[in-house]
């Protein structure tokens, strides 16, 4: 198996309402065996400070789609979709398993590695699933 370096992406989701009550910041870590999504609500006048950091572990098998959105030749956003919407249910910005994140400037270079890493991890998962099905068919 090819060893891949983990990819770390810092992101934020701007507030939905004009008062800025739900402003989310976090870090997305693409590790060798899973994706780790750490997030918290940014402190403001209404909440009285920063919230606690929460972490969600997502296996690569649950990731449906990862898309990098470019604007003026620079990566600006990451659209992240999972197959089970309950996994992202605690995050206020998520919409049916979809989360749009604005990538911080310091993570744009790192985000360029993301598509090849996701493709590789998904192909490993699909190959493992195919091997399981073939083994089950041989045993019958």
- Alpha-carbon distance of 56 to 27, in angstroms, equals 11
Rg (CA), the chain: 17
Percent of the chain with pLDDT over 70: 88
Question: At 32, is the pLDDT very low, low, confident or very high (cuts 50, 70, 90)?
Answer: confident
Structural domains in the chain, sorted by start: 7-139 (2.30.29.30)
Q: Quick one: CA torsion of 101, 107, 109, 111, rounded to 10 degrees?
A: -40
DSSP state of 2: -
Q: Give residue 94's pLDDT.
A: 80
User: pLDDT tens digits for 64-108?
Assistant: 888 888 888 877 888 888 888 888 888 887 888 888 888 888 877
More confident residue, 16 or 94: 94
């Amino acid at each position: 198996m090819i060893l891949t370096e983990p990819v770390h992406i810092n992101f934020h989701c701007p507030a939905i309402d004009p008062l800025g009550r739900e402003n989310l910041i976090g870090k997305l870590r693409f590790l060798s065996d899973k994706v780790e999504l750490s997030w918290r609500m940014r402190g403001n006048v209404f909440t009285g400070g920063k919230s606690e950091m929460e972490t969600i572990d997502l296996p690569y098998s649950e990731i449906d789609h990862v898309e990098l959105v470019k604007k003026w030749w620079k990566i600006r956003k990451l659209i992240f979709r999972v197959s089970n919407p309950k996994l992202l249910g605690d995050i206020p910005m998520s919409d049916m398993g979809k989360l749009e994140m604005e990538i911080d400037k310091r993570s744009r270079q790192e985000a360029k590695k993301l598509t090849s890493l996701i493709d590789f991890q998904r192909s490993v998962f699909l190959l493992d699933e195919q091997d399981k099905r073939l083994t089950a068919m041989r045993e019958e």
